[in-house]
């Protein structure tokens, strides 16, 4: 597979505009509607049942609405089982009443998560994200010069923020499993970026007289086939899970779908371009500093 040489750096400002728009949309959605946090973070009760005759999610929703439970999350598994999730404050007995009105069923499992436990899980989730980002920054700082580490971590924060924003826009449930998938996306994204950075570092040694912008163009072009093939494979696998994995897996695989697209674009257009522009900015600042007499 051969692709014509592309001057990626020339188009970096277009990618910046797209990135800024996506970040602003994500920020607006997070501010205006927030996230649809799952029971792991809010507390509540999860009830999984199996009806003797198949029922639809709409039937369960309607039955719950009749007993004045309006904020329940109803999901259907691949095996046809029904999962009902209610927040703290809602009465599980009303859920049982609603389910009984539909037909006879078998209780498969019931899980109660208290508000104290969910609060602890929220704190641990925040610390997990912070620890991951700091760990990646330290790793990149040791492996490359700090400028590359900064460009990589900014691109990574860009990817994670847009993925989280996508969950806010679609109002998909954010559970611990989804958080884990977002961290996996972060790892995938930084790996893609590191591959490009490795090629840039190698070309800086081999082509010392070449301008940094040309080195970046060359390095990205040398990796573009590998990036497209890897990203396409992950995307198609995630798409299969999203379409055919049921409601539970679709919430998790959604992070991969968005993350792979955004992460691939950022590794090609954003991460290396940020390194170049930060370096140009630092040079300008250095030139403007008055010389000491």
User: Helices 212-244 & 246-265, crossing angle to 10 degrees?
Assistant: 170
Nearest to 162 by CA among 20, 14, 273, 3: 20
pLDDT of residue 118: 66
pLDDT of residue 7: 83
pLDDT of residue 161: 93
Superfamily of domain 8-37+117-287: Multidrug efflux transporter AcrB transmembrane domain (1.20.1640.10)
CATH class of 44-113: alpha beta
pLDDT of residue 262: 93
Rounded to the nearest integer, the mean pLDDT of the chain is 85
pTM above 0.85, yes or no: no
Q: What angle do CA 252, 124, 181 make, to 5 degrees?
A: 15
Nearest to 185 by CA among 129, 144, 236, 146: 129
pLDDT in tens, 59-73: 888 888 888 887 788
pLDDT exceeds 80 at position 289: no
pLDDT exceeds 90 at position 23: yes
pLDDT of residue 36: 85
State the burial class of residue 174 (Cβ atoms within 10 Å of its Cβ: 0-12, 13-18, 19+).
buried
The average pLDDT across 208-228 equals 87
Cα–Cα dist 23/271, whole Å: 15
The average pLDDT across 12-25 equals 93
pLDDT in tens, 76-133: 877 788 888 887 667 788 888 888 888 888 888 888 877 656 677 778 878 887 888 7
Sheet holding 73-76, edge to edge: 73-76, 82-87, 44-51, 105-113
pLDDT exceeds 70 at position 35: yes
**Top-confidence residue, 284 or 247:** 284
For the chain, give the percent of residues with pLDDT over 70. Answer: 94
Residue 266 tokens, joined: 């950022």
The average pLDDT across 29-33 equals 92
Q: Where are the domains positioned within the chain? A: 8-37+117-287, 44-113
Residue 292 banded pLDDT, cuts 50, 70, 90: low
pLDDT of residue 290: 63
Pick from 32-36, 169-173, 219-223, 280-284: least confident: 280-284
pLDDT of residue 241: 86
DSSP conformational letter for 210: S
A 10 A CB-CB count for 222 gives 15
- Sequence-distant (≥ 6) Cβ neighbours of residue 8 within 8 angstroms: 216, 217, 220, 221, 268, 269, 272, 273
Residues facing 36 on adjacent strands: 173
């Amino acid at each position: 597979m051969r692709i014509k040489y592309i001057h990626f750096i020339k188009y970096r400002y277009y990618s910046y505009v797209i990135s800024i728009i996506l970040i602003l949309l994500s920020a607006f959605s997070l501010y205006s509607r927030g996230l649809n946090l799952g029971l792991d973070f809010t507390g509540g009760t999860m009830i999984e049942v199996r009806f003797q005759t198949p029922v639809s999610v709409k039937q369960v929703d309607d039955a719950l609405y009749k007993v004045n439970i309006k904020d329940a999350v109803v999901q259907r598994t691949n095996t046809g089982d029904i999962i009902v999730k209610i927040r703290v404050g809602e009465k599980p007995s009303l859920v049982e009443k609603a389910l009984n009105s539909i037909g006879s069923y078998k209780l498969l499992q019931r899980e109660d998560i208290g508000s104290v436990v969910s609060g602890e899980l929220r704190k641990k989730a925040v610390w997990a994200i912070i620890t991951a980002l700091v760990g990646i920054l330290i790793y990149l700082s040791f492996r490359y010069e700090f400028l590359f580490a900064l460009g990589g971590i900014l691109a990574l924060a860009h990817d994670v923020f847009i993925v989280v924003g996508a969950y806010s826009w679609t109002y998909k449930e954010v559970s611990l499993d989804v958080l884990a998938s977002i961290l996996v996306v972060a790892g995938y994204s930084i790996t893609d970026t590191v591959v490009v950075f490795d090629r840039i570092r190698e070309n800086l040694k081999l082509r010392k007289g070449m301008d940094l912008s040309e080195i970046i163009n060359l390095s990205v072009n040398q990796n573009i086939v590998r990036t497209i093939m890897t990203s396409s494979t992950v995307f198609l696998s995630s798409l299969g899970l999203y379409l055919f994995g049921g409601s539970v897996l679709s919430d998790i695989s959604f992070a991969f779908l968005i993350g792979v697209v955004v992460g691939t674009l950022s590794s090609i257009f954003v991460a290396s371009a940020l390194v170049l522009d930060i370096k140009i900015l630092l040079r300008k600042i250095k030139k403007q500093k008055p010389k000491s007499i």
